[in-house]
């Protein structure tokens, strides 16, 4: 029996307010419990190889060329040295400098040499008090 003949039925509607309240609470929970990690980057400027004309060779500071092979063998100014520790490498660098204050250390490492061997040279130069360290690069391209 329908006693409300002349009246229209109300359409049922979904109340969105409780759903929005629940979503806000979930969002607040996620923001509070999320851990933010800061990623730091190393800004590295890679060396460029170029041919430079040397006019005043006698005015240039003394350079010590130290090379590392794939096997981890070290040479200073084309003379092989026996590597036992960073201190022995430091002493070899000091003897190659011949009492010069701050020579330029040129590291020539094989492409397949370990990174640790290069870091070892840099650490030996630092402990010897030499802060001018550079890397030898190989020129490739149309010039050859």
- Per-residue pLDDT tens for 78-122? 888 887 888 999 999 888 888 788 899 999 888 888 889 889 999
Provide the pLDDT for residue 23: 96
Around Cβ 90, how many Cβ atoms within 10 Å? 19
Question: pLDDT tens, 53-80?
Answer: 655 555 556 889 998 888 888 999 888 8
> Could you tell me the fold of the domain covering 63-135?
Nucleotidyltransferase; domain 5 (3.30.420)
Q: Kindly tell me if the per-residue pLDDT of 18 is higher than 80.
A: yes
| Kind and range of the H or E run holding 104 | strand 104-109
Tokens 């039925």, located at residue: 9
Reported pTM: 0.55
Residue 27 pLDDT greater than 90, yes or no:
yes
Specify whether the CB–CB gap between 113 and 121 falls below 8 A.
no
């Amino acid at each position: 029996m329908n006693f409300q003949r002349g009246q229209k039925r109300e359409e049922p509607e979904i109340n969105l307010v409780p759903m929005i309240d629940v979503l806000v609470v979930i969002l607040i929970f996620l923001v509070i419990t999320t851990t933010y990690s800061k990623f730091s980057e190393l800004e590295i400027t890679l060396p460029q190889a170029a041919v430079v004309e040397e006019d005043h060779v006698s005015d240039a500071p003394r350079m010590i060329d130290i090379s590392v092979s794939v096997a981890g063998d070290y040479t200073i100014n084309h003379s092989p040295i026996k590597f036992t520790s960073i201190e022995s490498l430091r002493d070899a660098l000091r003897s190659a400098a011949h009492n010069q204050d701050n020579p330029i250390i040129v590291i020539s490492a094989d492409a397949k040499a370990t990174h640790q061997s290069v870091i070892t040279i840099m650490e030996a130069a630092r402990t010897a008090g030499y802060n001018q360290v550079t890397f030898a690069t190989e020129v490739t391209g149309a010039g050859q």
